[in-house]
Amino acid sequence: MNVLKILRRPNFFRRIQARTSKARCLTTNSDSSTQTQYRTLLLRDVPTLSVLNEVLDRNHVGPIERIQYDSKGLRAFLSFLDQETAEKFAIKVKKSKHNVDPIFYTGVQRHPGVEIVAAIGLRKASRCIAVNLPEGVTEESFKRDMSRFGEIQKAAVKTKKNDIQKDRRFGIMYTAGQVHFYSIESALRAVDTIHKERGKARFIVEECDLHLSNMYREFGRAKLEHRQLPEQLRSVYLHKNEGLRGPIHRQLMTLIQKASLPARGEVIQRVERKDSGTGLLIVFIHPEDALLFWNTCNSEGPRSGFTNATLTVTTPETAIFHVARAVAMGATRTLGIYNIHNWNSLSVRDIHRDFSEFGPVFEVRLSKTQECAFVKFAYISSSMKAIDHVSSHDGVFKEPYAGTAIGFASDAVLGNPPIALKRLRIRSANDSLAF
C-alpha cells in the first residue's frame, strides 16, 4: 500500500478530521460540561440465566464491565465499557434469532472506580479469570470458594489430561479452573487476593469479547478512503535544533490543540526524548490522530521551533487495544491527587519523587486553593501503574498521602473525560480495612 499517495489526495486531512470528530461525538448534556454516556443495555424477556449466557456466547462485540440479572422481572442489565460497544451489541442481538429485547437504560448510570479502568488498560482485566487448582478440586467446591469475591455467572473446572499442568518449582499437579464473575470489580478482587494467598490467577478473555483478529479490525486500523492504514503507523518524531528546554509539554499540547485533536479523552500513549534531548517521539493511541498531528506539525511546527516532523512505525502490540479501552472510559496521563490538607509534608519535589517510581514525570502542578495536585506523566501506563499499585495494596500508599484520593484528571486541551469515574481513596496503614 502506498500511504504517501493517499496522504497527498486533496482535502484528505479535512475528511479524516471530520470523520474523527463525528466518531467521538457522544450524547452530552446541553447545560453541563460533563458528558453522559449511555453504556448500559436493558435486556427484556430473559426467562433464565442460561438464555442470557447463550446470548452472550453468540454475540462477540467487546467486554462487559458489569452484569445484573433480575430473575423476578425477567430482565438483565449489561454495562459495557463504552456506548459504541453497547450499540453494536444491541444491533447484533436484534438481528439474531433470540427473542430478547435490548434497549438503552437511561436511568442513573453507575460509574466504575478508577482502579477498574487502570486494571483494564494495564493488566487486560476482564470478568473472567483462570485459577490454578490442586488436583481433586470439584467444580462445586471451586464455585463456593470463588463466591467470596462476588456473584458468579458460571464456573468450570477442566479435568482433561491436556488441561493438567505441573508446577516445576514444587512438583505439584494443577488443574485449571475458570470463573466468570458478574463484574470486573469482583474478578479484580479475586486476582489480587489469590496472589496475596500465594496462589496463581490471571485474567483471560471473556465470552463476549472480540477475538484478537477482530481487535485489529476494530481498534488498530483506520479506514482511509476504502483503504487500511496499519495500526503501527501512529508515531510522530519531532526535532528541535536548540534542544528541548522549557515547558516542552505545554508546547506539545498547543500543537495538539491546533491539530483539532482535543476531544473527550487522552490521545497520546507515551512521549519519549530522543537524540540526546533534541528529539521528541510522540506515540498516539489511534493512527488517525498521528496523521492529523503530523500534518499540523509540517505547517505549524517551524513556528514553535520544531522541525523535521516524521511519521514513524511503532512496534505492533496487542496492549494498545486495552489501552484504547481504558481511554474510552476516562484514563489519561494526568494523575489527580485530591483532598490534600497537609501541605507542610507535600511539596512539588516530594510529589515528583514519590510518583517518579511509576514512570517519567513531565510536570507537577499544585492548586492549594482547591486542595489538589496534578502529576503529568510521559506514559499513560505510568498513571495506571500508580492507581493499580495503590489498589493492589488495599489503598495504602506513603503516609503523607493518607486521607487523599487519586484519579485520572482531565486536561484543559483534551476536555472532560468520557465517564465520571469514582476516585480511589488512600488510607493510612494503621487504618482497619472494612469489607
CATH number at residue 285: 3.30.70.330
Q: What is the DSSP letter of 396?
A: B
Asked if the structure places residue 433 within a domain, the reply is: no
The pLDDT, as a whole number, for residue 228 is: 45
pLDDT band with cut points at 50, 70 and 90 for residue 226: very low
Cα distance between residue 381 and residue 10, in whole Å: 37
Clarify whether residues 236 and 193 are in a common domain.
no
CA atoms within a 13 Å half-sphere pointing along the CA-CB vector of 115: 20
Residue whose C-alpha cell reads 442513573 in the numeric block: 108
Q: Are 88 and 61 in contact (CB under 8 A)?
A: yes
Q: Which three cell numbers stand for residue 153?
A: 455467572
DSSP H helical ranges for 378-425: 380-392
Show the beta-strand stretches assigned E in 89-232.
Answer: 101-104, 128-134, 152-158, 165-167, 172-181, 201-203, 222-224, 227-229
The pLDDT, as a whole number, for residue 30 is: 33
Cα distance between residue 411 and residue 232, in whole Å: 26
The pLDDT, as a whole number, for residue 175 is: 76
Asked if the structure places residue 336 within a domain, the reply is: yes
Asked if the structure places residue 246 within a domain, the reply is: yes
The pLDDT, as a whole number, for residue 273 is: 81
Q: Quick one: CA dihedral 108, 46, 82, 118, positive or negative?
A: positive
Domain termination site, one of 257, 285, 315: 315
CA-based radius of gyration for the chain = 23
Asked if the structure places residue 115 within a domain, the reply is: no
DSSP H helical ranges for 216-273: 248-258
Per-residue pLDDT at 361 exceeds 70: yes
The pLDDT, as a whole number, for residue 6 is: 52
Clarify whether residues 340 and 397 are in a common domain.
yes
The burial class, CB within 10 Å (0-12 / 13-18 / 19+), for 298 is: middle
Terminal CA-CA length for the chain: 56
Asked if the structure places residue 247 within a domain, the reply is: yes
Cα distance between residue 182 and residue 67, in whole Å: 5
Over residues 302-327, the pLDDT tens digits come to 666 666 778 777 766 667 888 988 98
CA 65 to the chain's CA centroid = 12
Rounded to two decimals, the pTM is 0.84
Per-residue pLDDT at 200 exceeds 70: yes
Q: Phi/psi zone of residue 260: left (φ > 0), alpha (ψ -120 to 50 degrees), beta?
A: left
Clarify whether residues 309 and 335 are in a common domain.
no
Domain termination site, one of 263, 292, 315: 315
Asked if the structure places residue 134 within a domain, the reply is: yes
Domain that holds residue 358: 330-425
Clarify whether residues 310 and 245 are in a common domain.
yes
Q: Are 386 and 408 in contact (CB under 8 A)?
A: no
Residue 57: which H helix or E strand, with range? helix 49-58
Q: Which three cell numbers stand for residue 87?
A: 450499540
Q: Are 27 and 83 in contact (CB under 8 A)?
A: yes
Domain termination site, one of 269, 289, 315: 315
